[in-house]
């Protein structure tokens, strides 16, 4: 068959006018997103939080950190925010950076600002790693259920039935108490907490991906791809996953907020990251004993959690509005 070769071929000039890409879908989505003020402010807060957390990791770690979150100054305990230290009783290396307790000190005289900086990185990594684990598990199980769901195991139950059953069982557990139980049995470490939160929160992503795959599998463009003799893996990763990711992305963004809250709650209850390391949850937990003497110990981490969680929720909802084709202006 040589008819295509025989056709007059119009040569596309390399780098010519035809190569200029039009606005991509991403740019279109971005323009749409920019119009949503609440979502934009969520994104801005998220970026600021990310920078603070990354900076906090650099500034509070090492042998001689710039902001030392673990330095105890018993003579300077429960100083209110913005108060100046008593230079006469402190050694030169104990004087806080900028010569001021920006967020005050706690009951051991540790600088709350330094501790908040250190805790920001914990919140960020717990949020992202836990949700990352949840999304990977959810996409895999949901994808298998949606694409290979009709395959049957031992002619008893379909793959789909098995996975949906597993999802329903996992959803039946009150997940916070499940996490509490597991964390109580495991050695306390930040990695265990990330993994446990991830392993108990993949069900939403799995359901989204399964539902999307079930409807995508019947779409004509998937049939056309099969008619072209393309492999299952090509079809799944080039056609189905990109089309199924929008709701997963949205739920992941909101899931990060949930994971941060869960970690803070665990730390508050004393099951979180072990004590010398500061997290927003255990600063809050310590602070509750001094609620009337030193209210900043509860209000500062409380507000921080509130603002970050709110920012992620607003960002996630903005993302959902943009990615939902029914809400988009199309012709």
Partner 1 sequence: MSHNLPTLLQVNNLVKDFPIREGVFRRVAGSLRAVDRVTFSIDEGETLGLVGESGCGKTTVGRAILRLVEPTAGLVIFSGDDLLSLSPREMDERRTNMQVVMQDPISSLDPRMSIKDIVAEPFVAHGRLKGQALRDRVAALLEMVGMAPQHLWRYPHELSGGQRQRINIARAIALSPRFLVLDEPTSALDVSVQAQILNLLADLQRDMKLTYLFISHDLSVIKHVSHRIAIMYLGRVVEIGPVDEVYDNPAHPYTQTLLAAIPAIDLDRKRKRFLISGEMPSALTPPPGCHFHTRCPLVQETCRRVEPAKATIGKEHSASCHLLR
Residues that bind partner 1 (CB under 8 A): 1, 3-4, 7-12, 14, 18, 20-22, 25, 156-158, 161, 219-221, 223-231, 234, 238-239, 242-243, 330-331
Instruction: Please give the Cα distance from 111 to 103 (Å, whole number).
Output: 7
Range 53-89 burial, b when 16+ CB lie within 10 A, else e: beebbebbeeeebebbbebebeebbebebeeebeeee
Two structure tokens written together for 112: 């709350």
Nearer to partner 1, 91 or 326 (CB): 326
What's the closest the beta carbon of residue 7 comes to partner 1, in angstroms? 5
Two structure tokens written together for 238: 């080039």
Q: Which DSSP symbol is given to 240?
A: I
Instruction: Please give the Cα distance from 40 to 61 (Å, whole number).
Output: 32
Nearer to partner 1, 86 or 223 (CB): 223
Nearer to partner 1, 61 or 324 (CB): 324
What's the closest the beta carbon of residue 321 comes to partner 1, in angstroms? 18
Nearer to partner 1, 91 or 330 (CB): 330
What's the closest the beta carbon of residue 255 comes to partner 1, in angstroms? 23
What's the closest the beta carbon of residue 107 comes to partner 1, in angstroms? 55
CA angle at 81 for the pair 77 and 87, rounded to the nearest 5° = 55
Nearer to partner 1, 41 or 243 (CB): 243
What's the closest the beta carbon of residue 117 comes to partner 1, in angstroms? 40
Complete DSSP assignment for 272-287:
SS-TTS--HHHHHHHH
Nearer to partner 1, 326 or 330 (CB): 330
Instruction: Please give the Cα distance from 202 to 212 (Å, whole number).
Output: 16
Q: Are 296 and 80 in contact (CB under 8 A)?
A: yes
What's the closest the beta carbon of residue 235 comes to partner 1, in angstroms? 9
Instruction: Please give the Cα distance from 131 to 194 (Å, whole number).
Output: 9
Instruction: Please give the Cα distance from 168 to 164 (Å, whole number).
Output: 6
């Amino acid at each position: 068959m040589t008819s295509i070769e025989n056709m007059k071929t119009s040569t596309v000039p390399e780098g010519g006018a035809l190569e200029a890409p039009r606005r991509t879908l991403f740019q279109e989505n971005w323009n749409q997103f920019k119009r949503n003020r609440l979502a934009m402010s969520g994104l801005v807060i998220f970026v600021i939080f990310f920078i603070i957390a990354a900076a906090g990791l650099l500034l509070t770690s090492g042998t001689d950190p710039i902001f030392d979150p673990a330095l105890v100054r018993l003579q300077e305990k429960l100083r209110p925010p913005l108060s100046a230290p008593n230079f006469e009783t402190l050694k030169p290396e104990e004087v806080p950076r900028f010569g001021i307790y920006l967020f005050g000190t706690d009951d051991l005289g540790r600088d709350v600002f330094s501790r908040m900086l250190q805790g920001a990185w914990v919140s960020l990594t717990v949020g992202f790693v836990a949700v990352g684990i949840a999304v990977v598990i959810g996409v895999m199980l949901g994808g298998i259920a949606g694409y290979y769901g009709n395959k049957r195991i031992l002619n008893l139950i379909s793959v789909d039935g098995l996975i949906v059953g597993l999802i329903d069982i996992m959803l039946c557990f009150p997940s916070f108490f499940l996490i509490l139980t597991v964390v109580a049995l495991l050695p306390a470490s930040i990695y265990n907490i990330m993994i446990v939160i991830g392993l108990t929160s993949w069900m939403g992503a799995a359901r989204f991906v399964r539902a999307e795959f079930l409807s995508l599998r019947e779409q004509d463009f998937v049939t056309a791809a099969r008619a072209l003799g393309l492999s299952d893996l090509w079809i799944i990763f080039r056609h189905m996953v990109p089309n199924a990711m929008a709701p997963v992305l949205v739920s992941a963004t909101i899931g990060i907020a949930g994971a941060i809250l869960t970690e803070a709650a665990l730390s508050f209850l004393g099951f979180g990251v072990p004590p010398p390391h500061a997290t927003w949850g255990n600063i809050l937990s310590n602070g509750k004993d001094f609620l009337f003497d030193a209210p900043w110990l509860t209000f500062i981490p409380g507000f921080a959690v509130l603002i970050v969680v709110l920012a992620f929720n607003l960002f996630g909802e903005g993302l959902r509005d943009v990615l939902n084709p029914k809400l988009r202006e199309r012709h």
